[in-house]
Structure 1
């Protein structure tokens, strides 16, 4: 259900440059009604802070591999997003993951020997450039209030990312993650569509956890996140049904979902 970007840049980003009061003194940022970068993106990184809000709309799974990350599924098949149209406009009001709202900005480490993060942006985005409309990024050589707000949002996102990493580490430590599989039997089809290639919490192992471990997970909020993840998996069938309605179901029966 989710594949890593082909290059070293994060998902969505085609290029990344540090925001500069010299190089971008006359740049503006404008709001867009569409997000073309979302078209065809079926799995979006999610922070644990967002599980409750996102779980109302999207199935939440974990990517495969040794370093899994939570993902909000906007489609069950690669290249399918049932929440946006062909121009990238939301079809219905839904929760928009912070990873999406952060684009085209992000905090990045420019010097591998330093822990300092700098505010960067994707210069290929139509939301930022040398145009008159929108919010100025700098005034008298200083960042404007919109830039400061973006910087604070990106900092908050990074902090949420750290909490998410700790959450996943706790799941791994308790050996709760397992390879997931979902079989969906469409009406009138003699064989089910089988989706694999993701991880999920093993409910059997969750039930077998020692009482002291469960108590700790309840106290630190991890148990609530686990339940939000498990409840959200019921939405996979709704996503599949929407793919059927929109004619975006592949002919293959064995479908690598991530």
Structure 2
């Protein structure tokens, strides 16, 4: 089992799914996601931008290898779309694929391994040697459920590769800049200033040469950038939701990513 510090968001451990070790394992449905409580920034792929931008702001993390993030809250420990029990509070809402793939993921069992193996988080309450549930294996072979899980994770990895290429191109073109959003609520003496994330520099984007813009439009990159830019207006909606929930910090500089 992998050690917790090296694992991605949500995962407490990773164990390769095996027809021998987990022959009697089943999956039981769960209508809550406790692991999502208090998680305010969720990784998303570029494939999801058109859907995500309808519900959540899309920003980019800071650092040398930035990734796209959907904001489910503006402050650490705040998720305005999930109850304290981990139940979605919205009926019409897009749940990012990163959330939907948990507790599974494709991973290399050894650093030198070329192939990815389907693994799961053994601490998840949704998978185990239960009496009831949907079987992961039937007669020693992967069940239809397991095949579907594998297919979803393979699609996620492919989307992740496209996202990595997108971010490489975005970084090389120098279109990212430090982001800042200032929100002044009615009656507040000081504004809430949010930083700690990156966003596309719209001025640089507009000033690109015609052939560069045409290439980005043909590749599908340009609409994705504008999906990100349009989504930023939702930061004020997230702020308003936090205020309604009584989950506001003191007005000062706030890290987002």
TM-score range for the pair, normalised by the shorter chain length: over 0.9
Residues 1:75 and 2:73 are matched in the alignment: yes
Correspondence for 2:7:
9
Alignment of 1:78-227 (within 5 A): 78-93=76-91, 94-227=93-226
Gaps of 5+ in 1: 1-5
The whole-number CA distance in structure 2 between the counterparts of 1:201 and 1:76 is 18
Cα separation, 2, equivalents of 1:132 and 1:214: 57
* Aligned residue among 24, 37, 40 for 1:39: 37
Give structure 2 stretches of 5+ with no counterpart: none
Runs of 4+ in 1 over 4 A off after TM superposition: none
Cα separation, 1, equivalents of 2:191 and 2:251: 10
Q: TM-score, normalised by structure 1?
A: 0.97
**Of 46, 49, 58, which residue of structure 2 is paired with 1:48?**
46
RMSD after superposition? 0.8
Using the size of structure 2 for normalisation, the TM-score is: 0.97
What is the match of residue 236 of structure 2?
Answer: 237
- Kindly indicate whether the alpha-carbon contact (under 8 Å) linking 2:191 and 2:251 is maintained by their aligned counterparts in 1: no
CA distance in 2, matches of 1:219, 1:194: 36
User: Offset at 1:223?
Assistant: 0.1
Q: Which secondary structure state, in structure 1, belongs to the residue aligned with residue 147 of structure 2?
A: helix
* Rounded Cα–Cα distance in structure 2 between residues aligned with 1:133 and 1:51: 37
SS of the counterpart of 1:113?
Answer: coil
Give, in whole Å, the separation in 1 of the partners of 2:33 and 2:112: 34
Q: Which residue of 2 aligns with 1:23?
A: 21
How far off its partner does 1:61 sit?
0.3
Whole-angstrom CA distance in 1 between matches of 2:251 and 2:119? 41
Aligned residues: 253
SS in 1 for 2:194: strand
